[in-house]
Copies of this chain bind each other. A is one copy, B any other.
Amino acid sequence: MGSLVPSLPGLLYGGDYNPEQWPEPTWAEDARLMREAGVNLVTVGVFAWARLEPRPGEYDLAFMDRVLDLLHEHGIRVDLATATASPPPWMASAAPESLPVDADGHRLWHGARQAWCPSSGAYRSAAVALVELLAERYAGHPALAMWHVGNEYGCHVAACWCDACAERFRAWLRRRHGDLDGLNHAWGTDFWSQRYGDWDEVVPPRRAPTFVNPTQQLDFRRFSSDNLLECYQAERDALARLSPGVPVTTNFMGLFKPLDYWRWAAREDLVSNDWYVDPGDPRGHVLGALGFDLMRSLGDGRPWLLMEQAPSAVNWRPRNRPKRPGQMRLWSLQAVARGADGICFFQWRASRAGAEKFHSGMVPHAGPDSRTFREVSALGAELGRIGEVAGARVPADVALLLDWPSWWALELDARPSADLRQVDALLAHYTPLWEAGVTVDLAHPEADLRRYKLVVAPNLYLVGDAAADNLVAYVAGGGSLLLSCFSGVVDENDHVRLGGYPAPFRKLLGLKVEEFWPLLPGQTLAVRSADLGPFGGSLWSEAVRAEGAEVLAEVDGGDLDGTPVLLRHRHGAGTGWYLATRPEPAAMARILARACAEAGVGPVAPPAPGVEAVRRTGDGGSWLFLLNHHDRPVSTTLPSPAVDLLTGRRLEGTITLERFGVAVLAQEGS
């Protein structure tokens, strides 16, 4: 198998390097310390636009020449940024309309970062001009390993409500809906007297007296993701033309709501991700695993790059805890376990000044004689010892469905309950599988699902016709689908599918939902089940009628007494499950265990509480990663004898993982 970057075998290791913030004499020490830490790749220039083009059209690349040459001399490869993430202050002066505008009409000024409107012609042309210059100059530089377009697209300005965006929104709508009749139908403008008679009347969903048309909101989200994607695409096109063969990426941000990463990933050579776990969140590592699985799935299973993480604390939460000793290593190896072929940090050296100076760096303010730099160097050495996993895949039998438009629509206003949130729903279904050692891919509802034994759809509220047909065909063809509540409710225009919910799946599931009964905070739905024992549900309940489905659990008491809660139905060669509430975690685990068992899905290793187990498999072998997320030693049993690449020791039977400990077990014979 190949590596992420041609001519750079094994795992990548490094971080963002911003030499413009430091006096040039520091650079030599930087290069020396990078070598000491095992760094082989650094990202340069992410925020260098103001240095590269100090005045409009006046470029100065000499500084970048020296940096790249120095790094090359020390054998360090470069992920070269296009530097367009933040235009210099002159942009705001020369083109004030390039500053973004929020839904209330407030202009967002420069002085921070990302102060540009995605529809701004001034921004777009200046950005592409800079990219072309960089590509021409450095396409052939021996240090160049890959291109890094922009930075965290949409992080602070995911949408803009200005007049230029209104104009581009209208053009996008014409492409989507054809004519005004199409728009009026899609937006349901006969409601509330909203029928448009002229395209010029159409605007973004700006501040309004009350709930804005939901399809207008939904389409504006689609447009805003696409509009930023155009900015990315313009830079990528320039790079493809002027620097062919060098991989291009832009760094994602995990489960980031504003951008439809399925559409973005299709335009990347490799997927990269920024992940800033909250060390104060006791489930942060599970959310991390979910995000890592998403990154792998976005790239259709190919290895990906952890582009940014913090060496220790960040600076932007109200209280910023450092990572405890061992956690940075643990969570880095977790990314490798789940398909990352490179581990990078923001940033190499902690800044002295600016808004992120209290964000930890690989070299902290206290200097290299510090816990952080010692941990960074130790990890660099360990990644060298497990380099053989590079290129290996992570097999999965279960897919969790995620669709951005459905996410957007689910979380619009004026829903039956504001408590159904997409990420919560994903986590509620993902966590028991994670705990059971069952590996999961994320999948788009229109993807080919036949490779999976079980497909889980947590709150897939919006389902287009193609997705509906795909899911029905998947089950008919022998697959197992577990659909949970408030799914399949609307079509791609957020129009309710009539005749009882979830209309497209009623036949598949053998049931009809007549009415929603969302629960209040703190309210518990009592459920009885001969098979699964009694349990409580939260957030949601429904008036469900079985129409052919087998009822495995039902409401126990209250207005809905006897109403089905968990149902199973054979459809064609497969099985449909329906879950009409959000069960407490232990019950969710029992339900998913049952669905896995019936679908023939098993764990990659015998589960042990708090121990994450994942397997990577490649041409060169198979590696079982065991990661102890407890801050105390934990014992676990190996499925078969193996050698731990981190220590070189052969292990079998029951082993003990130290606090935050990790084993990377090469399958014997592989």
Interface residue? A212 (CB, 8 A): yes
Which positions 285-317 of chain A face chain B at CB distance < 8 Å?
Answer: 312-313, 315-316
Would you call B320 and A518 a contact (CB within 8 A)? yes
Q: A356 contacts the other chain (Cβ, under 8 Å)?
A: yes
Q: Contact at A198–B515, with CB atoms within 8 Å?
A: no
Q: Does A28 contact B (CB under 8 A)?
A: no
Which residues of B lie under 8 Å from residue A188 when comparing CB positions?
Answer: 21, 351-354, 357
Instruction: Tell me the minimal C-beta distance from A445 to chain B in angstroms.
Output: 21
Which residues on the B side are within 8 Å of A83 (C-beta)? 193
Which of A106-114, A389-397, A579-587 is the interface stretch? A106-114
Of residues 479 through 529 on chain A, the ones whose CB sits less than 8 Å from some CB of chain B are 493-496, 498-501, 512-521
Let me know if A531 is at the binding interface, CB within 8 A: no
If A109-B203, A113-B210, A516-B322 touch, whether A356 touches B194 (CB-CB below 8 Å) is: no
Known: A92-B201, A192-B86. A187 touches B353 (CB 8 A): yes
| Interchain CB contact under 8 A, B355 and A214 | yes
- The answer, yes or no, to whether A48 is at the interface (CB within 8 Å) is yes
**A194 to chain B: which residues have CB within 8 Å?**
50, 86, 88-89, 110-111, 113, 354
Interchain CA distance A104-B216 in the complex, whole Å: 25
In the bound complex, residues from chain B placing their C-beta under 8 Å from that of A216 are 111
CB nearest to A20 among chain B residues = B190
- Given contacts A353-B191, A495-B353, A515 and B109 within 8 Å (CB-CB): no
A193 is contacted by which of B49, B513, B518, B519 (Cβ under 8 Å)? Answer: B49
Query: Is A324 part of the binding interface, using a Cβ–Cβ cutoff of 8 Å?
Result: yes
Contact: B365 with A415, CB < 8 Å? no
Q: Which residues of B contact A324 (CB under 8 A)?
A: 559
Nearest-neighbour CB distance to chain B for A90, whole angstroms, equals 5
Query: Quick check: is A263 within 8 A (CB to CB) of the other chain?
Result: no
Bound-state CA distance A192–B51 (Å) is 10
| 0/1 interface trace, chain A 387-426, chain B, CB 8 Å (1 if under) | 0000000000000000000000000011111110000000
Q: Are A107 and B109 in contact (CB under 8 A)?
A: no
Is A367 part of the binding interface, using a Cβ–Cβ cutoff of 8 Å? yes
Partner of A111, one of B208, B353, B413, B499: B208
**Which of A51, A198, A357, A513 has most chain B Cβ within 10 Å?**
A357
Q: Note all chain B residues with C-beta closer than 8 A to A516.
A: 313, 320, 322, 358
B107-A211 in contact (CB<8A): no
**CB within 8 Å of B: which A86-133 residues:** 86-90, 92-93, 100, 104-115
Contacts of A192 in B (CB 8 A): 47, 86, 112-113, 354-355
Chain A positions 168-212 with a Cβ under 8 Å from a chain B Cβ: 187-198, 200-203, 205-212
With A365-B499, A499-B367 known to touch, is A209 a contact of B113 (CB < 8 Å)?
Answer: yes
**Residue interface bits A533-562, CB-to-B below 8 A is 1, else 0:** 000000000010000000000000001000
Instruction: Report A439 CB to chain B, min CB distance, Å.
Output: 32
- Count chain A residues whose beta carbon lies closer than 8 angstroms to a beta carbon of B: 118
Does A80 sit within 8 A of B, measured CB to CB? no
Known: A88-B197, A321-B518. A498 touches B355 (CB 8 A): no
Once A316-B211, A416-B320 are accepted as A-B contacts, the answer to whether A90 and B353 lie under 8 Å apart by CB is no
A4 an interface residue at 8 Å Cβ cutoff? Answer: no
> Within the oligomer, what is the number of copies of this chain?
3
Tell me whether A384 is interfacial, beta carbon within 8 Å. no
Contact, CB under 8 Å: B518 / A210: no
Q: Binary interface profile of A, 63-96, with partner B (CB < 8 Å = 1, else 0)? A: 0000000000000000000010111111011000
Chain B CB within 8 A of A319 CB: yes
Q: Is the CB of A193 within 8 A of B559?
A: no
In the bound complex, what is the Cα–Cα distance between A187 and B111 (angstroms)? 10
Smallest Cβ distance from A370 to chain B, in angstroms?
5
Complex-state Cα separation, A357 to B559, whole angstroms: 24
Please tell me if A233 contacts chain B, counting CB pairs below 8 Å: no
Closest B residue to A47 using CB positions: B193
A190 / chain B contacts, CB cutoff of 8 Å: 18, 20-21, 50-51
Query: When the two chains form the complex, which single residue of B47, B213, B313, B354 contacts A416, counting CB atoms closer than 8 Å?
Result: B313
Output the nearest chain B residue to A45 by Cβ-Cβ distance. Answer: B193
Complex Cα distance, B90 from A289, in Å, reads 50
Type the 1/0 row for A432-461, where 1 means its CB is closer than 8 Å to any CB of B: 000000000000000000000000000000
Interface residues of A in 328-384 (CB under 8 A from B): 350-358, 364-367, 370-372
CA distance A357 to B205 in the complex (A): 18
Chain B hits for A620, CB < 8 A: none
Say how far A347's CB is from chain B's closest CB, in angstroms. Answer: 10
Is the CB–CB distance between B364 and A514 below 8 Å?
A: yes
Establish whether residues A498 and B365, one from each chain, have CB atoms under 8 Å apart when the complex forms. Answer: yes
| A367 proximity list for chain B (CB < 8 A) | 498-500
Q: Are A280 and B520 in contact (CB under 8 A)?
A: yes
Once bound together, how far apart are the Cα atoms of A320 and B420, in whole Å? 12
A321 to B419 alpha-carbon distance, docked (Å): 13
Is residue A325 within 8 Å, beta carbon to beta carbon, of the partner chain?
Answer: yes
Contact pick for A211, options B92, B112, B207, B418, CB 8 Å: B112
Q: Determine the residue in chain B with the shortest Cβ distance to A46.
A: B193
On chain B, the residues within 8 Å of A55 by CB distance are: 197-198
Which B residues are in CB contact (< 8 Å) with A512?
A: 366
Given A355-B192, A371-B515, A494-B353, CB of A414 within 8 Å of CB of B209: no
CB of A165 to closest CB in B, whole Å = 13
Could you tell me if B90 and A318 are in contact, using CB atoms closer than 8 angstroms?
A: no
Give 9 A-B pairs besides A50-B190, A112-B213 with Cβ atoms closer than 8 angstroms: A88-B197, A104-B106, A107-B206, A191-B354, A211-B355, A315-B416, A365-B499, A367-B498, A371-B514
5 contacts across the A-B interface (CB closer than 8 A): A50-B195, A51-B193, A214-B353, A319-B519, A322-B516
The 8 closest A-B pairs by CB, nearest first: A188-B353, A191-B354, A156-B209, A50-B195, A112-B208, A89-B201, A211-B355, A109-B206
Query: What residues of chain A have their CB less than 8 Å away from a CB belonging to chain B?
Result: 18, 20-21, 47-51, 54-55, 83, 85-90, 92-93, 100, 104-115, 155-157, 187-198, 200-203, 205-216, 280, 312-313, 315-316, 318-322, 324-325, 350-358, 364-367, 370-372, 413-419, 493-496, 498-501, 512-521, 543, 559
